[in-house]
Amino acid sequence: MASFLDGMAGAIFAGFKGQLRKGVIRRLGPGAGGLDGHGRPQQPVPTLSPLEGFVDDYSDFTRAQAGIPAHDRRVNIFGASLPPGFTPRKDDMVRLDYPAANGAPARAEWYQLRERIMTDPAKALWLCQSFETGAPSDVG
C-alpha cells in the first residue's frame, strides 16, 4: 500500500535544488586485510557516495539541553540526494564543497558524524551531529 510519504523526500529536495552544497559521504567498507584479533576490519576500503546538504549550528538552548559540545555542528543531508537505501551513520565522514566566489578560492569542509543522527518519517532530511575534521589521507 502506498503511503502519502512516498515521493515527499524527492519533492522537498527539488524545492531546494541549486541552493545546497554538493559533496560526498565517505564510509569505510569491509577490510581488505581480514579481521584483527578484536574482530575489526584491517585495511578497510572507503566508498564515496554523492550528497547535497548544508551545515548549521545548534542554538545555545539546544546545546545546553542536549549536552552538545560547543564546537559541534549539524550537517543536514537531503535524503533524496543519497543513493537509494543509504542511511548516514556514526563515524561516516561528510565533505561539503564550496565553489570559488567573490574572490575567495574553492574549498571543502570535512565533518565526522557522531551518534546523534535523526530524520523525519519521510527521510527527507537527515540531521547529523558532527564535528569538523581534516580530510582523510586517502581522499582529497
Find the CATH number of the domain harbouring 109.
2.40.10.270
Instruction: Output the pTM of the full model.
Output: 0.87
**Full residue range of the structural domain in which residue 92 is found:** 21-31+44-133
* Separation CA 73–CA 94 (nearest Å): 12
Query: What's the total number of domains in the chain?
Result: 1
Residue 7 lies in a domain: no
Phi-psi region of 37 (alpha: psi -120 to 50; beta: other; left: phi over 0): alpha
User: What pLDDT, in 10s, does the model give residues 19-74?
Assistant: 999 999 999 877 677 777 887 777 778 899 999 999 999 999 999 999 999 999 99
